[in-house]
């Protein structure tokens, strides 16, 4: 039996590591929930690279994270996802941003890694891409919006 895991994107860490962020409390509660429920927290080498643009790798809670390198299976799935996104680009109404680079790569990693059941992000543009992919293929993971408190996502009472 495979343990459940969650792939945390860069936006999660930007909120979790900034106690002044309006989403800090949500990020902290998710982090604690995952530890308490033995849900493995994963970070992609792609997210590490993004984080290191403005932060330092030593700020990341690496002892609590499993690092996922981008590999050949991920790249094949990225191509499939990117093709769908490019073919439907006009329907997305995205803010100015590069479509492929990181959203589809991270989604491909979440989809290829057997244990990943959840993808946690506060990125609304990324959520639009996820919803488009769901219309055309069947990603096996659930997108969790960091704006939604953990107790609503997982249907538990919050006594905190």
For the chain, give every domain's residue range. 5-154
Going along 54-110, which residue ranges are E strands?
65-68
Q: Position of tokens 């959520």?
A: 127
| pTM, entire model | 0.92
Tokens coding 29: 């509660």
For residue range 93-115, what is the model confidence (pLDDT) as tens digits?
665 555 557 899 999 999 999 99
Tokens coding 159: 């006594």
Top-level class of domain 5-154 = alpha beta
Q: Is 155 left (phi over 0), alpha (psi -120 to 50) or beta?
A: left
Question: Rounded to whole angstroms, how far apart are CA atoms 75 and 72?
Answer: 5
Give percent of the chain with pLDDT exceeding 70.
91
Identify the bridge partners of residue 35 per DSSP, sorted by sequence position: none
């Amino acid at each position: 039996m495979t343990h459940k895991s969650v792939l945390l994107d860069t936006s999660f860490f930007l909120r979790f590591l900034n106690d002044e962020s309006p989403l800090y409390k949500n990020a902290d509660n998710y982090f604690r929930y995952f530890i308490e429920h033995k849900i493995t927290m994963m970070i992609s080498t792609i997210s590490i690279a993004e984080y290191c643009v403005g932060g330092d790798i030593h700020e990341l809670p690496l002892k609590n994270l499993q690092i996922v390198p981008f590999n050949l299976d991920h790249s094949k799935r990225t191509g499939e996802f990117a093709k769908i996104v490019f073919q439907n680009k006009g329907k997305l109404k995205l803010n100015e941003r590069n479509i492929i680079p990181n959203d589809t790569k991270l989604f491909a990693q979440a989809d290829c890694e057997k244990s990943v059941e959840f993808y946690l992000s506060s990125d609304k543009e990324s959520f639009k891409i996820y919803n488009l992919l769901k219309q055309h293929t069947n990603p096996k993971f659930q997108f969790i919006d960091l704006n939604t408190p953990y107790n609503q996502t997982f249907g538990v009472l919050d006594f905190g």
